[in-house]
Amino acid sequence: MTPVVRTVQTVSPAVVNIHSARMVEREVNPFGSLFGRDDVFRHFFGSQDFTRRFEQRSLGSGVVIDGRKNLVLTNAHVIEGASSIRVRLMDGREFDGRLIGSDPDFDLAILHLADARDLPQAVMGDSADIMIGETVIAIGNPYGFGNTVTTGVVSALGRTIETKQGTFTDFIQTDAAINPGNSGGPLMNLAGELVGINTAIYAEAEGIGFAIPINKAKLVVDELVSHGRVQAVWLGLEGQDVDERIAHFLGLDQARGMLIADIHEKSVRDAGVNTGEVVRAVNGVRIEDRDHYLRVLRNFTISQALQLELLGSNGLRTVNVSVQPFTDEKALAMAEKRWGLTVAPRGSNLEIIQVRQGSPAQKLGLQKGDILLNIAGDVQRSVDDFALAFKRYRMANTVLLLVARDGQGYYVRLRV
């Protein structure tokens, strides 16, 4: 009975297999390989609709974090777009999973198991207490093989990785095998405590696994349970990329960071942050440019304090600042001021109901009554979608929009 065996026996009952299903549309060639390439098929039958809807199934893992409230913690990408979620426990019981809340920026989601009773639960640990070299245990459902155990050590802490889904910070890196299907499962220490949530979003990794620290997950869970989503945060900073000219003027060896052009929050100014300074790092994460700053900021919650590394006329220094909630109301007001757009729901679409005179939107030719379908790849169906898109692209000088007018769609570039 080694510490690993004891931990596995204690925790495994709380580890669940998650089966999710989603409907996808695909183009089907009813003539098989008769026409060879798809472009030849579309040449002859381009006007006909051969799309079909299929049910796509995926596997993942999760862990019961509250047996009394029937709550399961998993990765957001495990249940993304799911029309149905089925959760299976080690003891053979199965339950329907209802999504309480999900946030792709943190890759975390909370499920509620309907009609469950007497659920085992994992004991929450303290990820701030993790040490490099410490033995850790991953339990999950890789490739459909239920309750598979892998062990390793903590290889590094505070890792930042770039993926197609975005920038993720503060990861635990481990050499314990974490494969597709392990996503959402627990990372345990030898005391039998939950210290991380495994994630397999970094497809390029071989022999490298990543997990979300449980202390960070706790903050996200609180917001997901209370509000169904994580409230966006900001520091009230507007900025621009550091070019070679600015880098030379400030004596930087590289053109990296974000030059602060404006400060909207009094608390940040009072903390000692000034316009004209360059944000070099946020909580130790090196900032590449303005867009990278926005992506990194999406990794924090309103419960956290941040440390900025700044470079300016006062030299290199660090400043502690408190994050502020970036409400939808604030975003919509700023969108009207910066972009010149006001929107409202129209059925399942989003309609432009006002275009401010002299604004970038008016100069582009957008009109009242136009339907806003897409912003920089983000589908627009509600005012919430619009507010979220503005939060993500508010500093961009150019934003690609898909707009419909008189039944015809147009891609246009909004220049600010």
Catalytic residues: 77, 107, 183
Is residue 416 within 8 Å of residue 360, measured between CB atoms? Answer: yes
Instruction: List phi, psi (to 5°) of 356.
Output: -70, 135
Alpha-carbon distance of 377 to 101, in angstroms, equals 23
* Tokens, residue 243: 């070019």
Is residue 371 within 8 Å of residue 349, measured between CB atoms? Answer: yes
The strand pairing partners of 410, in sequence order, are 403
Alpha-carbon distance of 303 to 44, in angstroms, equals 58
- The CA-based angle 387-390-393, given to 5 degrees, is 155
Alpha-carbon distance of 381 to 359, in angstroms, equals 23
Q: What is the 3-state secondary structure (H, E, C) of 291-340?
A: HHHHHHHCCCCCCCEEEEEEEECCEEEEEEEECEECCHHHHHHHHHHHCC
Alpha-carbon distance of 344 to 121, in angstroms, equals 44
Taking Cα atoms as reference points, which of 147, 145, 141, 170 lies closest to residue 157? 170
First to last CA, the chain: 65
Q: Is 217 left (phi over 0), alpha (psi -120 to 50) or beta?
A: alpha
* Tokens, residue 152: 């390793």
Amino acid at 34: L
Taking Cα atoms as reference points, which of 179, 181, 168 lies closest to residue 217? 168
Helix, coil or strand: residue 244: helix
